[in-house]
Amino acid sequence: MTPLIEVQHVNKAFGGLQVINDCSINVEKGSITGMIGPNGAGKSTLFNLIAGALTPDSGRVILDGKDITALSADQRFHRGLLRTFQIAHEFSQMSALENLMMVPPQQAGESLFSTWFKPGQVREQEAEVRRRALEVIDFVGLHHVRNELAGNLSGGQKKLLELGRTMMTDAKVVLLDEIAAGVNRTLLGDLIGNIERLNREMGYTFLVIEHDMEMIARLCDPVIVLAQGSVMVEGHIQDIQNNPDVIEAYFGTDAA
Ligand SMILES: Nc1ncnc2c1ncn2[C@@H]1O[C@H](COP(=O)(O)OP(=O)(O)OP(=O)(O)O)[C@@H](O)[C@H]1O
């Protein structure tokens, strides 16, 4: 198996608090890897280190064999490392379809030079983006609300739209940060189904932080358990759920 993301001996402290502690993980290409751990274990911090929102004190982050430790979040995005974000305030006043159409970076339409000299090409490119956005909106099951303002969508529909936004790019790997939170069970089923299809049919790799154990169990293999900033155990969810160290980390000594 080839790792798409490698975190190698990463450390990160905030003030005197060592939050990530000589942490190493691999996310295999084509996997849906889950990351769980008790509150404060360092999951979000590790995500931020992988996505480029934070820089490690030491250690390396590798994407597809290349060291990306020194790259900004934006540069990582352009290399296909994506993170879903909540729909930003300014996008809530645009329709669901427009939200998708805004995603592709470096649209020719944004460049004055190309608008001036190649109007035909710009029109072609916009038509292509619209066609792709319509395909994506069908895929995520939001065709019926494509003209609704994104701000008016339900919590679950917004999550589906966020997933759709990653599909407007050439994503290699998508980091999903607690996307099940606040989503009703029906839409959660759609979300899980879409993530599985993106993985199977389009070759997406996912790294998923999630408190919702049902979602982790249905979707993720392997699952990495983070505790006190390093990997406690990694494996299939069933082995993890029965691991006494994991039970102790979650519930304290008495439960083990
Ligand atoms: N910017 C920061 N400055 C100072 N301390 C921070 C910062 N970010 C996180 N921490 C601390 O680092 C520790 C790990 O936080 P982190 O959010 O990474 O954990 P988590 O596993 O994602 O937790 P949860 O499951 O509760 O979201 C916590 O003690 C937190 O208070």
DSSP secondary structure string for all residues of 55-116: --SEEEEEETTEE-TTS-HHHHHHTTEEE--PPPGGGGGSBHHHHHHT-STT-GGG-HHHHH
Residues 6+ apart with CB under 8 A from 110: none
Which residue has a Cα nearest atom 5 of ligand 1? 14
Is the shortest distance between the CB of 40 and ligand 1 below 6 Å? Answer: yes
From 5-14, 65-74, 102-111, 181-190, the region with the lowest mean pLDDT: 102-111
Distance 230 CA to ligand 1 centre (A): 13
Distance 116 CA to ligand 1 centre (A): 48
- Ligand 1 probe mutation, 7, 10, 45, 225, most atoms within 8 A of CB: 45
Per-domain boundaries in the chain: 1-80+171-183+201-256, 86-169
Per-residue pLDDT at 70: 96
Is the shortest distance between the CB of 69 and ligand 1 below 6 Å? Answer: no
Write phi, then psi, for 54 (nearest 5 degrees).
-130, 155
pLDDT tens column, 8-66: 999 999 999 999 999 999 999 999 999 999 999 999 999 999 999 999 999 999 999 99
User: Can you tell me the distance from the alpha carbon of 167 to that of 140, in angstroms, rounded to the nearest whole number?
Assistant: 10
Which residue has a Cα nearest atom 1 of ligand 1? 14
In a 3-state reduction of DSSP, which class is residue 130?
helix
Strand partners, 225: 36, 233
211: enclosing H helix or E strand? none
Prediction pTM value: 0.86
Per-residue pLDDT at 184: 82
CA distances from 179 to 3, 12, 30 (A): 24, 25, 20
Instruction: Give the amino acid at 93.
Output: Q
- The widest CA-to-CA distance across the chain, in whole angstroms, is 72
Check if the interface score ipTM surpasses 0.90: yes
DSSP helix, strand, coil percent of the chain (3-state; round to 5): 45, 25, 30
Residues 6+ apart with CB under 8 A from 129: 101, 104, 107, 168
pLDDT tens column, 194-232: 899 989 988 999 999 988 888 899 999 999 999 999 999
Write phi, then psi, for 191 (nearest 5 degrees).
-60, -45
Strand partners, 12: 20
Is the shortest distance between the CB of 21 and ligand 1 below 6 Å? Answer: no
Is the shortest distance between the CB of 48 and ligand 1 below 6 Å? Answer: no
pLDDT tens column, 118-158: 556 667 778 888 998 999 999 888 999 999 999 999 888 88
Above 50 in pLDDT, residue 255? Answer: no
Question: Is it true that the peptide bond before 56 is cis, omega within 30 degrees of 0?
Answer: no
pLDDT tens column, 50-74: 999 999 999 999 999 999 999 998 8
Taking each helix axis from N to C end, the angle separating 155-167 and 185-202, rounded to the nearest 10 degrees, works out to 10
Name the nearest CA neighbour of 87 among 76, 74, 77, 96: 96
Is the shortest distance between the CB of 119 and ligand 1 below 6 Å? Answer: no
| Stretch 178-207: mean pLDDT | 87
CATH superfamily for 1-80+171-183+201-256 is: P-loop containing nucleotide triphosphate hydrolases (3.40.50.300)
Q: Pseudo-torsion of CA 181, 187, 193, 197, nearest 10°?
A: -90
Name the nearest CA neighbour of 87 among 158, 163, 178: 158
